[in-house]
Amino acid sequence: MQTNELSNELLRRLADFRPDGARVLSLFLNLDPSQFGTARARATEINSLVDQADRCVREAAGLDHGQEVALREDVERARRFLNGTDFEGAHGLALYLCGPADLFEPIKLPRPIETRVCLNDSPFVEPLAELATRGSWCILLVNRQVTRMLRGSRERLDELPPITDEVHGQHDQGGWSQARYQRSVDKEVHDHLKRSADIVFRRFKRSPFERALVGGPEEIISDFEQKLHPYVRERIAGRVKGDVENTTAEDVRRAAAPAIDEIDRVREREALDRLEEGVGSGGRAVVGIEDTIEALNERRVGTLLVVDGLTAPGVFCRSCGWVGVQDLKRCPADGGPLERRDDVVESAIELAILQSAEVLVSRHYRDELERRGGVGAVLRF
Ligand SMILES: [Zn+2]
């Protein structure tokens, strides 16, 4: 299908897209293979999405005639596209349309997404932001009324929409006793931290991260950490310094980089030690592309280590996900046809993620891993 892959660059372009006067339709289609694995289930979901879009346009308030006509054409175009497209292993699809501004952007998503429609004066990118920035790091900055959440890596952090609550100042206000006023402020702060913790957990469930850093006034942070879901709390790896509100994402990234570096370096060292130990004792670890991919196909990988930028040509089975570097025509697992790929390392990483393996891209001890063929895996069994 003629679709783009989700990338931060595409996301930025969409986020900056502001058509002059026209409205933008943002459509999201769930293609979760466990629910929509059959053509019939997908067709039903597509019909429901197009019906929602149609209703959304008919019921929208304040459209002028030109906007309405353009939107009806967009809905028709979406209907034709969705019904005529082979979704090839995508787990979700986003489709942005704005005929008058020449926007038609289908994007294949690596994870399921809730089927929904949004009509606005710009593309609705938040559901994608959570998917695109699935880097392993999350930075949480929190104070009495604002919680910021950034996702990504040491090199790049993307900010999700902030969680803001109106909390009154701590100064005295006429008519209220100071004590009573203070209690009400404390309640507001408590509510803000609780709401923030809930939203962070919701975003985490949609797109998990591996490690988190937290920053803000100390007494607020400790209160906030208590309110976080244990799954999120156990991922907190350290603190980040800096102003909660008056900083850009780039300021935050710079402040977080040294902490991320150190935590990553230690993790990578430990994983490499386990790898060497496993290879040495025979059987608990493998190195090199061929043996690593074999272990991935057998779903035995606990930790995958790979150097950044490694590529290898090979074959891939669309029906079961089997990956190989041999020159085969048929999948050894299910006999299905194999497709040639210039690079199967990405497919191998996907396979690792699907078996809940830890994936480490080696940066600090790159040379050491390169001597082992650039890739290796610590095995579960
Ligand atoms: Zn197969």
Could you tell me the distance, in angstroms and rounded to a whole number, from the CA of residue 92 to the centre of ligand 1?
A: 22
Cα of 337 vs centre of ligand 1, distance in Å, is 8
79 in any annotated domain: yes
Q: Tell whether 71 is covered by a domain.
A: yes
From 84, 100, 132, give the residue that closes a domain. 132
Q: Kindly give the distance from the C-alpha atom of residue 336 to the centroid of ligand 1, in angstroms, as a whole number.
A: 5
Do 196 and 214 lie in a common domain? yes
Those residues whose C-beta lies under 8 Å from the C-beta of residue 126, and which sit 6 or more positions away, are: 160, 161
pLDDT of residue 135: 55
What CATH number did the domain enclosing 164 receive?
A: 3.30.420.60
What's the CA gap between 19 and 10, in Å, rounded? 16
Neighbours of 128 (CB within 10 A): 23
pLDDT in tens, the chain (381 residues): 467 777 766 777 887 788 888 999 999 999 988 788 888 999 999 999 999 999 999 998 889 999 999 999 999 999 999 999 888 778 889 999 999 999 999 998 877 888 999 998 888 877 776 565 445 799 999 999 999 999 888 777 888 889 998 877 655 555 667 777 778 878 899 999 999 999 999 888 877 788 999 999 999 999 999 999 999 999 999 999 989 999 999 999 999 999 988 988 998 999 999 999 999 988 899 999 999 999 999 999 999 999 977 889 999 887 788 999 988 999 999 998 998 888 888 778 878 877 778 888 888 899 999 999 999 999 998
Are residues 126 and 165 located together in one domain of the fold?
no
- 334 CA distance to ligand 1 centroid (A)? 5
CA 125 to centroid of ligand 1, rounded, Å: 34
Q: Do 52 and 79 belong to one domain?
A: yes
Query: What single-letter DSSP state applies at residue 38?
Result: S
Instruction: Return the pLDDT at 81.
Output: 96
Q: How many A from CA of 208 to the centre of ligand 1? A: 28
Q: How many folded domains does the chain comprise? A: 3
Taking the centre of ligand 1 as the mean of its atom positions, its distance from the CA of residue 152, in whole angstroms, is: 32
Q: Is residue 256 part of a domain?
A: no
Q: How far is the CA of 239 from the centre of ligand 1 (A)?
A: 45
At 138 the pLDDT is: 94
Q: How far is the CA of 299 from the centre of ligand 1 (A)?
A: 14
Of 68, 100, 132, the last residue of a domain is 132
- For 93-104, give the DSSP string: EEEEEEGGGTEE
**Ligand 1 centroid, distance to 285 Cα (angstroms):** 24
Domain of 55, in residue numbers: 4-132
CA of 164 to the centre of ligand 1 (A): 48
For ligand 1, the distance from its centroid to the CA atom of residue 320, given in whole angstroms, is 4
Confidence (pLDDT) at 134: 47
On whether residue 46 sits in a domain, the answer given is yes
Q: Give the other-Cβ count within 10 Å of 242's Cβ.
A: 15
As a whole number of angstroms, the distance between CA 232 and CA 227 comes to 10
CA of 335 to the centre of ligand 1 (A): 6
Q: Compute, in angstroms, the gap from residue 36 CA to the centroid of ligand 1.
A: 19
331 CA from centroid of ligand 1 (Å): 5
Q: Are residues 44 and 9 in the same domain?
A: yes
- Are 360 and 326 in a shared domain? yes
Q: Give residue 131's pLDDT.
A: 62
pLDDT for 236? 96
**Cα-to-centroid distance, 296 and ligand 1 (Å):** 13
Does 144 lie in the same domain as 113?
A: no
Burial of 278 by CB count in 10 Å (0-12 exposed, 13-18 middle, 19+ buried)? buried
Q: Provide the pLDDT for residue 192.
A: 95
Helices and strands counted in the chain (H then E): 12, 18
**Within this chain, do residues 125 and 12 fall inside the same structural domain, yes or no?**
yes
How far is ligand 1, taken at its centre, from the CA of residue 3, in Å?
A: 24
| CATH code, domain with 55 | 3.30.960.10
